[in-house]
Amino acid sequence: MSRQAILALEDGTVFRGEAFGAEAVRTGEVVFNTAITGYQEVFTDPSYTGQIVVLTYPHIGNYGANSSDSEARRPYIEGLAVRDFNVTPSNWRAEMSADEFLRRDGIPVISGIDARALVRKLRTQGAMRGALSTAGHSAEELVEMARRTPPMAGLDLATRVTTAERYEWTEKLAPCSPSEHIGLQPAGEFRVVAYDFGIKHNILRCLASIGARVAVVPASTPAEDVLALKPHGVFLSNGPGDPEPLEGPVREIRKLLGRVPVFGICLGHQLLGLALGGRTFKLKFGHHGINHPVLHYRTNRVEITVQNHGFCVDPDSLNANEIELTHINLNDQTLEGLRHRSLPLFCVQYHPEAAAGPHDSRYLFEDFAALMKEFHQ
């Protein structure tokens, strides 16, 4: 006998469907992701902390889950909403069903809803707070829970997901097709310190693949401790929540500017923008998917990119005499990349490690290697 699940939004809208995953109630910001594949990578991306994810592709769970495709040690989504959730996977790599994968970490799932109607609402009205229950709560209770949920703006979530202590990473990318943009380099050419604001495993693999020995450090690590490790470069990772409450990390990043090459991705891009004197703002419904077109001004080429963020750097808040804008989103003209005109630093809003997703932007890791090599000549 199937269980009932209910997803309620702060505006009183209610979706009823079939329950899968854990018997639980979770709250968070409801956002949608347009990826057709890579749902396990979505589940385990720490940048989704505090968010209930709606997947626009209708059939989820077809290929199950396995121990290789996770981007972190566990799922970080608060809940999942889909049109059709498959509990019987058919794939030689499957080690368990997606249902079991989410259930063991307490993540509730609602299936059988009109996901297109939900996404249209979020696109029109913006991301909303919501409550998802597979544990028998009433719609009225869930609407009230959604309204009591803290809004994403103002939330410091990165310090919730960061590593508690420093660790080393050595695993490289697996051998890939001829289209792979990173040529694997011998280990040890560079020492890179990576700030963990919610870092994904494939970012670390990409850094290791350019020859870096990577030390991953907590979000609160002082700049002096980072420099004491004598890095060739510093990496600022992706992560969840609003960048503006992270005043401590911004202060430490500012101390690093000009002293060592810096490369930032996603939240790292936003924090670097703040360290350079800029401001950030919240997007209406964010960018979440593996199919977002971005124009690279320097090459005049369009890259199809992987994105997962709800905030953006305001380009008008940056000093144009010091900062070069390098990439722009072709869907809504928001800023997607920048570099300093004299200091050794650059960053992008999207995810060039692309797990899952196209590899159009993997060259950025080689650009980071080239910057480190040039700076330390």
| First-to-final CA distance of the chain | 68
Using an 8 Å Cβ cutoff, are 19 and 3 in contact? Answer: yes
Q: Is 341 helix (H, G, I), strand (E, B) or coil?
A: coil
Which residues neighbour 85 within 8 Å (Cβ) at sequence distance 6 or greater? 18, 20, 60, 61, 98, 99, 109, 111, 112
Other C-beta atoms closer than 10 Å to the C-beta of 266 total: 32
Q: 184, exposed or middle or buried, with CB in 10 Å at 0-12, 13-18, 19+?
A: middle
What residue ranges in 269-366 does DSSP mark as E strands?
280-296, 301-313, 323-329, 335-340, 345-348
Cα-flanking dihedrals φ and ψ of residue 29, to 5°?
A: -75, 130
Q: Is 157 helix (H, G, I), strand (E, B) or coil?
A: coil
Using an 8 Å Cβ cutoff, are 95 and 64 in contact? Answer: yes
Nearest to 335 by CA among 263, 277, 260, 283: 283
Strand (E) or helix (H) holding 16: strand 14-21
Cα-flanking dihedrals φ and ψ of residue 302, to 5°?
A: -95, 125
Asked if the peptide bond before residue 24 counts as cis, ω within 30 degrees of 0, the response is no
Residue 91: both structure tokens together: 């794939």
Residue 140: both structure tokens together: 């009225």
Please state, in angstroms and rounded to a whole number, the distance separating the CA atoms of residues 61 and 32: 17
* Residue tagged 């660790």 (tokens): 167
Using an 8 Å Cβ cutoff, are 133 and 5 in contact? Answer: yes
Active site residues: 266, 351, 353
DSSP assignment letter at 5: E
